[in-house]
C-alpha cells in the first residue's frame, strides 16, 4: 500500500492552457486483456500508465502474454490466443481496480486454469458476488470470502455453457465479465440490460474480430450477444484521453473566474458523457471541437470557459453514463446557484468507497448544505458563491474523492485538504503537476 500523501488545494486565479489528460482507463484495461488472448501483436498508443492499468499489464504477463513498453511510450502486447492463457504461478494482484478484477475474473473463468485474485485494502472490501453469480451459472467455480470478496480463487473451465443473463443492476463491469467468459464458450452468450451501460467491451471485441450483436427488446431493454470461440487478431489501438479524468480540469475551469482551458483528444462515447450533458444543462460554457473517431471511439477537443452554473435535477437513468463523475459534479453543484438533485446513486455505495456518504460528509465539512435521501439521492444546496472550505476531507483511499475535493479547494474561500492523495496515481498519474501547470495551487499538506 502506498504511503499516505496529504494534499492541500488553495484558491487560484484564472486557469489557462491546453492539456491532454491521461488515456482512458476503461479502454486501457480492455486493450491489454483482449490483446493477450488475440493472435499476433497488439500495438497500443496512449495507454494509461496509472497503477491500476500497470497491475493489469502485470497480470497478463503472469497469464502468459507479453506486454512491454517501448522507448516512445507505445505498448506492445503479444497474445497467446483465445483459450490459451496459462495458469499463473503467483497471485494476481489487481491493486485498487474493481474494473480490472471483475473483467479479468470473467476472462479467466473461460479457461481451464485456477487463479487467485487479490487487491489492496479498498478493493478487498468490494463485492464480487454480482460477477461470480452469473459465471457460476456458466460453470465456473469460486472460493472466496463472504459476498465473494477478494482474495478469491477462480477455478475456470473451457467447458462453460452459454447463458442469457438479465442484469439486476446496471453495470458495465458485470456485463463485460459475462461477455469475456462467453468468448471461449461454444454458442451465444447474451446479457440483457435495462439501461445501456458503457459499451467499450463490445466496441473493442468487434475491433479484434469478434461477432457482437445488439438487439432492442420489446420491453425496451438491450440484449448484447457475443458469439463464442472467435479468432481474435492483434490490432492497433489509439486510447483517447479519459473523459472521467478530463472532468477534473473541466470543472475547475468552470469554477474559476476568467478561466479557459482546452482539453485535447477526450473520449466522447455517448455512454460516458453524462457529466458533460449535465454541466451544459447547468449553463456550462463547453465547446466540443474537432469531433472525430479513433478506433471506433468518438473523440473531441473540449474548450471550457468559466461561467455561472445553476442547479438542476439529474435523472436516475443518467447514472450509468456518469457513475464515476458524481463526486466532481457535487463540487460544481456546491458553487452553483440553487439546488442540484442527483437521483439513483445506489451504485455509488459500492465503488472504491461509499462515495455517496463520503461526498456528503466532505461537502458538509466544507460548509455546503447537503441532504442524502432514503432513495439514495443527493441534494446539494448551492448558493452561487464559493463555499467556505477550510476542512480536511477523508478520502477512504478513493482517488476520485481526493481529486474532487482538491478541485473544490480551488474555488473555496479557504484551502481544502485531503488526508491522502496517494491513490490518485491509480487513475491520473501526475494530476497535481498537470493542474498546477494550468494555474492551480495543489501542494503537500
Give the C-alpha separation, 180 to 168, whole Å.
19
SS3 of residue 184 by DSSP: coil
30 is in an annotated binding site: yes
Confidence of residue 297 (pLDDT cuts 50, 70, 90): confident
Q: Any binding-site annotation on 25? A: yes
Of the candidate ranges 92-106, 178-192, 284-298, 326-340, the one whose mean pLDDT is the lowest: 284-298
Binned at pLDDT 50, 70 and 90, residue 392 comes out as very high
Mean pLDDT of 81-105: 97
225-253: pLDDT as tens digits: 999 999 999 999 999 999 999 999 999 99
Q: What confidence tier does 219 reach under pLDDT thresholds 50, 70, 90?
A: very high
pLDDT averaged over every residue in the chain = 96
Q: Is the dihedral of CA 100, 57, 405, 306 positive or negative?
A: negative
- Tens digit of each residue's pLDDT (9 = 90 or more) over 33-58: 999 999 999 999 999 999 999 999 99
* C-beta of residue 380 within 8 angstroms of C-beta of residue 343: no
Which pLDDT belongs to residue 2?
63
- Banded model confidence at residue 127, pLDDT cuts 50, 70, 90: confident
pTM summary value: 0.90
Report the distance separating Cα 135 and Cα 378, nearest Å.
33
Query: Which pLDDT score, from 0 to 100, does residue 170 have?
Result: 87
- The predicted pLDDT at position 1 comes to 54
- At residue 294, the pLDDT reads 81
Please write the tens of the pLDDT for every residue from 109-122: 999 999 999 999 98
Q: How far apart are CA 346 and CA 375, in angstroms?
A: 8
Closest CA to 276 of 264, 289, 262, 287: 287
Mean pLDDT along residues 198-206: 95
Per-residue pLDDT, averaged over 90-96, amounts to 96
Asked if residue 351 belongs to a known ligand binding site, the reply is yes
What pLDDT does residue 50 have? 92
Of 41, 46, 43, 11, the residue nearest 28 (C-alpha): 46
* Confidence tier at 146 by pLDDT (50, 70, 90): confident
Using a 10 angstrom Cβ sphere, with 0-12 exposed, 13-18 middle and 19 or more buried, the burial of residue 322 is: buried
For residue 296, say whether it is annotated as part of any ligand binding site: no
Q: Which three cell numbers stand for residue 184?
A: 471461449
Is the pLDDT at 344 greater than 80, yes or no? Answer: yes
Residues of the chain by 3-state class (helix, strand, coil), percent to 5: 35, 25, 40
pLDDT, position 400: 95
As a whole-number percent, the residues of the chain with pLDDT over 70 amount to 99
- Could you count the other beta carbons within 10 Å of the beta carbon of residue 39? 17
As a whole number, mean pLDDT of residues 77-106 equals 97
pLDDT, position 148: 85
349 annotated as ligand-binding: no
Among 225, 178, 175, CA closest to 200? 175
Would you say 369 and 333 are in contact if contact means Cβ atoms under 8 Å apart? Answer: no
**What is the model's pLDDT at position 349?**
86
Q: For residue 399, give the C-alpha cell.
A: 482517488
* Count of CA atoms in the C-beta half-sphere (13 A) of 212: 23
Has residue 352 got a pLDDT over 70?
A: no
Query: Cα(111)–Cα(187) distance, rounded to whole angstroms?
Result: 16
| Catalytic annotation, residues | 324
Who's near 374: CB < 8 A, 6+ residues apart? none
Do 444 and 6 touch, CB atoms closer than 8 A?
A: yes
173 a known binding residue?
yes
Mean pLDDT of 263-290: 97
pLDDT given for residue 426 in this prediction: 87
pLDDT value for 405: 98
Amino acid at each position: 500500500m502506498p504511503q499516505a500523501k496529504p494534499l492541500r488545494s488553495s484558491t487560484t486565479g484564472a486557469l489557462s492552457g491546453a492539456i491532454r489528460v491521461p488515456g482512458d482507463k476503461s479502454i486501457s484495461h480492455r486493450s491489454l486483456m483482449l490483446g493477450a488472448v488475440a493472435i499476433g501483436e497488439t500495438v497500443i498508443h496512449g495507454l494509461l500508465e496509472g497503477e491500476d492499468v500497470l497491475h493489469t499489464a502485470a497480470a497478463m504477463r503472469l497469464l502468459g502474454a507479453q506486454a512491454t513498453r517501448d522507448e516512445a511510450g507505445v505498448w506492445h502486447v503479444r497474445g497467446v490466443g483465445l483459450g490459451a492463457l496459462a495458469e499463473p504461478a503467483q497471485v494476481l494482484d489487481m491493486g485498487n481496480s474493481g474494473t480490472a478484477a471483475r473483467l479479468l475474473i470473467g476472462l479467466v473463468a473461460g479457461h481451464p486454469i485456477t487463479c487467485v485474485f487479490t487487491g489492496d485494502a479498498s478493493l478487498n472490501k468490494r463485492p464480487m458476488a454480482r460477477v461470480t453469480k452469473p459465471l457460476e451459472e456458466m460453470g465456473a467455480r469460486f472460493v472466496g470470502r463472504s459476498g465473494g470478496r477478494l482474495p478469491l480463487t477462480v477455478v475456470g473451465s473451457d467447458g462453460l455453457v452459454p447463458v442469457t443473463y438479465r442484469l439486476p443492476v446496471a453495470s458495465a463491469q458485470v456485463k463485460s465479465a459475462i461477455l469475456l467468459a462467453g468468448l471461449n464458450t461454444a454458442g451465444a452468450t447474451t446479457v440483457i440490460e435495462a439501461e445501456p451501460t458503457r459499451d467499450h467491451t463490445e466496441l473493442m471485441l468487434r475491433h479484434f474480430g469478434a461477432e457482437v450483436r445488439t438487439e432492442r427488446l420489446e420491453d425496451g431493454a438491450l440484449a448484447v450477444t457475443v458469439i463464442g470461440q472467435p479468432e481474435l487478431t492483434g490490432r492497433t489501438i489509439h486510447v483517447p484521453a479519459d473523459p472521467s479524468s478530463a472532468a477534473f480540469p473541466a470543472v475547475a475551469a468552470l469554477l474559476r473566474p476568467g478561466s479557459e482551458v482546452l482539453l485535447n483528444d477526450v473520449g466522447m462515447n455517448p455512454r460516458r458523457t453524462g457529466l458533460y450533458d449535465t454541466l451544459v444543462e447547468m449553463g456550462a460554457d463547453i465547446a466540443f471541437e474537432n469531433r472525430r473517431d479513433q478506433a471506433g471511439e468518438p473523440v473531441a477537443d473540449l474548450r471550457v470557459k468559466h461561467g455561472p452554473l445553476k442547479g438542476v435535477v439529474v435523472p436516475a437513468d443518467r447514472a450509468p453514463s456518469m457513475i464515476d463523475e458524481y463526486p466532481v459534479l457535487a463540487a460544481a453543484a456546491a458553487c452553483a446557484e440553487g439546488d442540484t438533485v442527483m437521483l439513483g446513486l445506489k451504485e455509488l455505495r459500492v465503488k472504491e468507497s461509499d462515495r455517496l456518504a463520503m461526498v456528503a460528509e466532505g461537502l458538509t465539512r466544507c460548509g455546503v448544505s447537503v441532504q442524502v435521501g432514503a432513495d439514495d439521492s443527493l441534494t446539494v444546496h448551492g448558493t452561487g458563491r464559493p463555499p467556505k472550505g477550510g476542512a480536511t476531507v477523508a478520502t477512504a483511499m478513493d482517488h476520485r474523492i481526493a481529486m474532487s475535493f482538491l478541485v473544490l479547494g480551488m474555488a473555496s474561500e479557504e484551502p481544502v485538504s485531503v488526508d491522502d492523495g496517494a491513490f490518485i496515481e491509480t487513475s491520473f498519474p501526475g494530476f497535481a503537476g498537470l493542474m498546477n501547470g494550468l494555474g492551480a495551487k495543489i501542494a503537500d499538506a
